[in-house]
Amino acid sequence: MATDQAIVSVTGMSRAYGRKLAIDRADLSLSRGRILGLLGASGSGKSTLLRAIAGLENIDSGSISIDGEVVSTPRRTTPPEARRVGMVFQDFALFPHLTVAQNINFGVKDRPNRDALVVDLLERLRLVDKAGLFPHTLSGGEQQRVALARALARDPAVILLDEPFSSLDGYLRAEVRDDLIQALRDSGTSAIVVTHDAQDAMVMADDLALMEAGRIIQTGTPRDLYRHPTSVAAARLLGPINLIEAEVRHRMATSVLGTADTDLPEGRAWMGVRPSDLALTTTPGEGQAVRVTSVSDVGAFNMVRVMLGMQTLALHVSGEPPCVGDTITIAASPTHLRVLA
Amino acid sequence: MRLLAWLAAAVAIAPLIGVVAAAFGEGRADIAASDLVRYALTSVALALMVAVATAVLGSVSAWLVVMHRFPGRSVFAWALALPLAAPVFALAYGYSDLFDVAGDLRTWMRTVPGIDWGPQIRSLPGAAFVLSMAFYPYVYLTVRAALVNQSSQAIEAARSLGCSPTQALLRVGLPLLRPALAAGVALAVMETLADYGAVQFLSVQTLTTGVVRSWFVYGSLESAARLALPLLATAAVLLWFERLSRRGRTDEVARARWRPIQPTQLSAGRGALAFGFCAGLLTLGLFLPVGWMAVNAIDIDPDVRRLAIAASHSLGLALGGAITTVVLATCLALSAERMPIAARISSLGYATPGAVMAIGLLAPASIVWQGVPGAVSGLGVGLMLLIYAYAARLMAAALEPIEAGLTRVTPSMVAAARTLGRGEIGAALSVRLPIAYGALLTATLVVFIDVVKELPATLILRPFNVDTLAVIADNYARDERLPNAGWPSLMIIALTLPAVIWLTRKITRSRPGDTNGH
């Protein structure tokens, strides 16, 4: 994934704690001006990778470069203060003994134009009236904007955001996320966002890297990864998916829901279909008859669970839902069937 | 930073190594084995009596204040810890004078009600009484903190499972308190074994008085060190026990869901009893002996010049000791997460009696003294050694509040400071220490209070003609000039009381999750 335009380049990087391998030969590249989402479950190693890029973790193998300069090798780690990175932490990590303005000023004390810079950032992030306040008096969204302003003040080559929304909930989360994306885009700074939330990742990122058990399992654009995951783990990271056993013969996978082309070797595989891609059908001779086991109204649609043989599948039904115990017929378009290893 | 932390740990451990080295060195054994056994048995008996008495008094008073409403409760919450302001030898002087056969009280009792009886303070039970009155606040503070922190949820859960209030207390409340009680009693026993001024004055021969006598009477460093060895071993065991108890403490349980215990309103009669118990304890622990001492002291003309010089010495040493100790403890605390062994090593000093610490410093001190010819530089070296002894003994006492204060600084705040251009030391100076400012002040005051009251190490290590208030109080008391001893004792209390009030009010107002400064 490395490119000539890469502002951050991670090559074959590993990091172990005792016998536990937290990062396993990771390759990653962030292009200038883009936002890269690092998506993975808890413990997948994504925060460790981010901290290694920030210089807060040593690495055991491989290398990390920022803006063309090698900053981490197993033998040498440029300390965080000497890297051109800004970091926004999960808990924001604002300094409680300093005001908003002093927090933003913290990293630029030695710069001649610092006052103008702080005022500019306060304005850009709509914090002018909060300048003299202490962090504990601010809302979660405001605290996050302060954390971003503080990181941006040093004019970093890359901003690293570690689970930036995990301490926010409900409607505030979406609002703050939109705000943050806007601010990041306005600044033109390259960024890496670590998250375990597929929706956050898809909304924020230009490019995605999926992580599982310390390995980067797939990279690409959010849409590409959502539509064309190459493994069960990758498919699951981006949202709920129904998995059905399939058989691969002559580059064609066959399951009870249909057939799809594949490059996988002959033998058993999985066929995945998202709940939103399964539909009720009345066309004779098409689809599979299944029994409805539960129906839940989740607002925009009904979540219907059905039994196919011994397996439970989920599908989204808009409009009038079936009743529990009904036998219905479901089908999926071949373009929505994913063959997974 | 790491180097300074290791230096701090070395400061704390060096005197202990000195004691062991001196004990196994070539030298006279001036103290017979039978004396050693007698001293040890007296120490054990005294420690047991104090342990039982402080456990009962400290936990009952904490239980009354936290779990009940009665007149004066909010004042008692912090005032019950005030005996910590008085040096224990001052209480011994006060009680000894009060119940003296020829004293005013006994004379009045013989004359008016015609009773010729009074407690024998200069005895083992008398000493146990005085020490218990002085040290019950250690148990009070730890049990009180555990009661406040345990939240009402555990008790409420027991009630919802069919327990009556008493059953809930016995089956859930008390087992939860056991670790705090053990920790408080361990502290009281440590102080008991470390005490010299009070037990010596009350004619009770313990290992610590043996250590000091061996040095002063026989001039035998080896004998003193041999007597100190069992104290050192006991200190290590007590410290281990106290840390073990703490590990089981339930302070951290459900911080986020902590809800205060709703105290029970006591009836007028029971409220009066609770008031009487707390007021009685405070009277016996502070007001009666100190008040009596003050009344007698007023009758005599103090040697103002001598007192003023001693006060300046006490203040100077206390400030020097406090600042040195806090600086070293801060280096240790800042590196503690990466080098916990250094912090643990330094804790050993806290359980070690001051006399033992001083004995451990004597051998290296004599080498330094011989190497420094001038009287002035000799004085400087002597003062430095004394401050060294205070720092070695009180490092852990300073370390604890500083570590607690530093927990307010999350790892991500330090990481943020690093990514914002600060190095390790820069992050410590600009983020960690300013946030833990209150804790640094607390640690300074804790050490200050202890140094002002300190006697045995000061007696052994002080340079010639450098008397502190504690030393001249001890000198007067040895000459049986108790009213004269009252003045320096009262001056010590005057120096420590504001700090103790500030600290106890701060501690008793704190709530779970608030780690600011303690």
Instruction: Supply the pLDDT for residue A159.
Output: 95
Q: Average pLDDT for residues A88-96, to the nearest whole number?
A: 91
Query: What is the model's pLDDT at position B256?
Result: 43
| Number of C-beta neighbours around residue B265 at 10 A | 10
In chain B, residues with a C-beta closer than 8 Å to the C-beta of A90 are: 412
Measured in angstroms, the CA of A87 and the nearest CA of chain B are apart by 7
Residues of chain B with pLDDT under 50: 249-256, 512-518
What's the pLDDT at B255? 44
Alpha helices in B352-420 (DSSP H): 354-371, 375-406, 411-419
Q: Give the per-residue pLDDT at B151.
A: 57
Looking at residue B142, what is its pLDDT?
Answer: 86
Percent of chain A with pLDDT over 70: 98
Residue A154: both structure tokens together: 């040093």
Phi, psi dihedrals of residue B117, rounded to the nearest 5°: -145, 145
Select the more confidently predicted residue: A83 or B339. A83
- CB-CB contact of B419 with A151 (8 Å): yes
CA gap B497, B485 in Å, rounded:
18
Q: d(Cα A296, Cα A278) in Å, to the nearest integer? A: 16
Length of chain A in residues, anyone? Answer: 341
- Count the residues in chain B: 518
Kindly determine whether residue A55 and residue B418, on different chains, have CB atoms separated by under 8 Å.
Answer: yes
Question: For A207-216, what is each residue's pLDDT tens digit?
Answer: 999 999 999 9
- The residue with tokens 């040498």 is A76
Give the one of B408, B412, B419 whose C-beta lies nearest to A80's C-beta. Answer: B419
CA-based nearest residue in chain A for residue B426: A81
> Which residues on B lie below 8 Å from A87 (Cβ)?
415-416, 419
Nearest to B125 by CA among B194, B196, B50: B50
pLDDT in tens, A27-41: 999 999 999 999 999
ipTM above 0.90, yes or no: no
Q: Do B417 and A96 touch (CB under 8 A)?
A: no
Quick check: A257 pLDDT over 50?
Answer: yes
The whole-number pLDDT of residue B510 equals 64
Q: Which residues, including other chains, have CB under 8 Å from residue B382's CB and lie 6 or more apart?
A: B369, B461, B462, B463, B464, B466
Helix%, strand%, coil% for chain B, nearest 5: 80, 0, 20
Q: Kindly report the CA angle at A207 between A51 and A23, in degrees rounded to 5?
A: 35
pLDDT at B80: 93
- The DSSP secondary-structure symbol of B287 reads I
**Residues A260, A263, A267, A268: is their CA dihedral positive or negative?**
negative
Q: Does A150 sit within 8 Å of B419, measured CB to CB?
A: no
Q: How many CB atoms lie within 10 A of CB B409?
A: 23
Q: Which of A48, A106, A152 to mutate to test the interface with B (most CBs of B within 10 A)?
A: A106
| A97·B430 Cβ contact <8 A | no
Residue B346's nearest CA partner among B329, B327, B371, B368 is B329
DSSP B14-62: HHHHHHHHHHTSS----S-HHHHHHHHHHHHHHHHHHHHHHHHHHHHHH
pLDDT digits over B429-485, tens only? Answer: 999 999 888 888 888 998 999 899 988 889 888 887 889 999 999 888 888 888 888
User: Per residue in A263-272, pLDDT tens?
Assistant: 889 999 999 9
Q: Do A81 and B415 touch (CB under 8 A)?
A: no
Q: How close B421 gets to chain A, by Cα (Å)?
A: 4
